[in-house]
Amino acid sequence: MAATAKSLASCIFCKIIKGEIPSYKLIETELSFSFLDIGPLAKGHALVIPKYHAEKLHELPDEYLADALPVAKKIALAQGVTNYNILQNNGRIAHQLVDHVHFHIIPKPSDSEEEGLVIGWPTQEIPKDELAQYYEELKGKL
C-alpha cells in the first residue's frame, strides 16, 4: 500500500524526520532516523524509523531494512545493558500505534517487571501433521 499525501502529512514520525516535531535524535543516516522514546518502558528506550513512509514491514523497501538494524545494534551497544528487546509491530491488533514502520530498542536492565518490555508468550501445541502441512504450504510460497 503506497503512502498517500494525507498519511504522510499527518504522520508523527514523518514530522519528526522533517524536524517539524522536536526529538532527542540519536543517529541519523541517509535512510534511517533514531531517537529516544518520550514514553519509555525503560531508561534508554529508543526508536529507529526508516525515512521511507510505510505502514508495515512488508511494504518497506529492503535497503531501508538493511540500514535500520545496524542503527538499532549501535544503540543497543551504547545502552550498555546485557539484555534488551528489539520490537517491531505490524497492525493495531499487533500493538502498532503509529502507522509508520519503526523498531523499538528496549533495555531490560534488571529482572524487574517494572522496567523494560513485559510480555507473555502464550505458546500453542500444534499437531505435527498440521505443522508439517503448513510448513509445505509456506515453503512453497517462499
Give the residue-averaged pLDDT of 1-24.
Answer: 82
111: confidence class by pLDDT, cuts 50, 70, 90: confident
Q: Which residue is associated with the grid cell 543516516?
A: 29
pLDDT at 82: 92
Return the domain boundaries, the chain.
5-140
3: confidence class by pLDDT, cuts 50, 70, 90: low
Q: What fold characterizes domain 5-140?
A: HIT family, subunit A (3.30.428)
Predicted model pTM: 0.85
Q: Which of 2-11, 53-62, 116-125 has the highest mean predicted lDDT (pLDDT)?
A: 53-62
DSSP one-letter string for 17-44: HHTSS---EEEE-SSEEEEE-SS-SSTT
Of residues 45, 53, 100, 102, which has the active-site annotation?
102
Is residue 102 annotated as part of the catalytic site, yes or no?
yes
* pLDDT above 90 as % of the chain: 75
Element (H, E) at 107: strand 103-107
